[in-house]
């Protein structure tokens, strides 16, 4: 089992006399599974000596945890372009380009973003299983976070459940949203007639989307959205439910004559870093096709009697 990273902690006064397990649980929020792996690998040291996790510690002791490396085949490394925004020993933040599938599936078995990330790590002499914290549809562009080990994935997944992980998107929808902002609080379920699709249904899981108008055009609106939940196709389903499907989203009623995909981009994300707990945030510029779409829509404004500047 390959060692790849370590965590350290200096025992504080209030922690003196506690077991190593208690201190690590409070400090790093290790799962039971992680404790089992650490115990089996004898991967915990205090002041340089390997100890049992039931050992007692005292003020000033230095606890060092050697995180076991990943094992297994993983996905096949392939030279798929990966646009890295940020990377350290715990996470990788990627600006996904449109048209790229995140992870191998039955219909897309290779040349996915996961294959490209595995190749990137291989080139650096690293091996990690692919652990996306969130996912994006194939034709949605923007920010994604991958965890590089089980502990980071568990911490970030917990943040999502606790709503401490913020995701903001921008989208262009059909029609003019007259309300400057609003929320869609409608449950989403799998369609009974088309399994690939989702639909608003009282039998579905809770889904909450907030939106704010950024710019209005003669026949479309640019909006910014924030998700409280992460249901499949949530933004696409909610905006179609309002009667304003995304441009290019032919699955949910949008037209594809302006852009060949749904006009949706994961613009911004904020999270608390899994190692130190400090806040981090990133923003990804709009993909080239979305920039071109907005330029075309702004060009339509000049000759249209329907256009009204923002705020009117």
Task: Return the exposure string of 188-203: e unless at least 16 CB atoms fall within 10 Å of the residue's CB, then b.
Answer: bbeeeeeeeebbbeee
Residue 195 lies in a domain: yes
Is 110 a residue of the active site? no
User: Can you give the pTM of this predicted structure?
Assistant: 0.82
pLDDT of residue 94: 97
Is pLDDT at 307 greater than 60 in this prediction?
no
pLDDT in tens, 116-167: 999 999 999 889 999 999 889 999 999 999 999 888 888 898 887 777 889 9
Higher pLDDT, 8 or 256: 8
**57 in the same domain as 19:** yes
Q: How far apart are CA 252 and CA 254, in angstroms?
A: 6
Identify the bridge partners of residue 166 per DSSP, sorted by sequence position.
270
**92 in the same domain as 143:** yes
2 — pLDDT class (breaks 50, 70, 90): very low
**90 in the same domain as 63:** no
Q: Give the per-residue SS3 of 15-65.
A: HCCCEHHHHHHHHHCCCHHHHHHHHHHCCEEECCEECCCCCECCCCCEEEE
pLDDT in tens, 186-221: 999 999 999 889 999 999 999 999 999 999 999 999
Is pLDDT at 306 greater than 60 in this prediction?
no
Size of the chain, expressed as the number of residues it contains: 312
**88 in the same domain as 64:** no
- What total number of domains does the chain contain? 2
Task: Tell the burial category of 309 from Cβ atoms under 10 Å away from its Cβ (0-12, 13-18, 19+).
Answer: exposed
Domain-ending residue, one of 68, 92, 117: 68
CATH number at residue 45: 3.10.290.10
309 — pLDDT class (breaks 50, 70, 90): very low
User: In the chain, pLDDT over 70 holds for what percent of residues?
Assistant: 95
Q: Which of 287, 296, 294 is nearest to 100 (CA)?
A: 287
Helix (H, G, I), strand (E, B) or coil at 282: strand
Identify the bridge partners of residue 247 per DSSP, sorted by sequence position.
none
Task: Count CA within 13 A, CB hemisphere, residue 237.
Answer: 26
pLDDT in tens, 52-99: 999 999 999 999 998 877 777 789 999 999 999 999 989 999 999 999
pLDDT of residue 270: 95
> Contact, 51 vs 38, CB < 8 A?
no
Q: How far apart are CA 113 and CA 97, in angstroms?
A: 9
Residue 74 lies in a domain: no
pLDDT of residue 15: 93
Q: Which strand (E) or helix (H) includes residue 279?
A: strand 279-283
Helix boundaries (H) for the chain: 20-28, 32-41, 113-123, 150-161, 234-241, 288-301
**164 in the same domain as 197:** yes
Domain that holds residue 31: 3-68
Q: Which residue in 61, 137, 139, 168 is the catalytic one?
A: 137
State the CB neighbour count (10 A cutoff) for residue 41: 13
């Amino acid at each position: 089992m390959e060692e790849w990273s370590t965590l350290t902690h200096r025992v504080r006064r209030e922690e003196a006399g506690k077991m190593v397990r208690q201190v690590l649980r409070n400090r790093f929020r290790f799962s039971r599974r992680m404790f089992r792996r650490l115990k089996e690998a004898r991967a915990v040291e205090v002041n340089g000596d390997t100890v049992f996790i039931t050992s007692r510690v005292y003020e000033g002791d230095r606890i060092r945890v050697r995180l076991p490396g990943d094992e297994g085949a993983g996905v096949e490394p392939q030279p798929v372009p990966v646009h890295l925004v940020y990377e350290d020993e715990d996470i990788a933040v990627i600006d996904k380009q449109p048209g790229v599938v995140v992870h191998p599936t039955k219909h897309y078995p290779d040349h996915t973003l996961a294959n490209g990330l595995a190749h990137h790590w291989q080139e650096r002499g690293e091996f990690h299983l692919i652990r996306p914290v969130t996912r994006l549809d194939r034709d949605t562009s923007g920010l994604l976070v991958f965890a590089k080990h089980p502990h980071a994935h568990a911490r970030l997944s917990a943040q999502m459940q606790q709503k401490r992980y913020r995701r903001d998107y921008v989208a262009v929808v059909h029609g003019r949203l007259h309300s400057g902002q609003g929320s869609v609080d409608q449950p989403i379920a799998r369609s009974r007639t088309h399994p690939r699709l989702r639909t608003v249904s009282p039998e579905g899981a809770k889904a909450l989307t907030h939106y704010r108008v950024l710019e209005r055009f003669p026949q479309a609106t640019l909006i910014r959205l924030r998700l409280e939940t992460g249901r499949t196709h949530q933004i696409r389903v909610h905006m179609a439910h309002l009667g304003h499907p995304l441009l290019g989203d032919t699955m949910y009623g949008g037209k594809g004559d302006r852009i060949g995909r749904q006009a949706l981009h994961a613009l911004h994300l904020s999270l608390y870093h899994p190692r130190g707990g400090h806040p981090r945030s990133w923003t990804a510029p709009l993909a080239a096709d979305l920039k071109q779409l907005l330029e075309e829509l702004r060009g339509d404004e000049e000759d249209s009697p329907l256009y009204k500047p923002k705020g009117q």
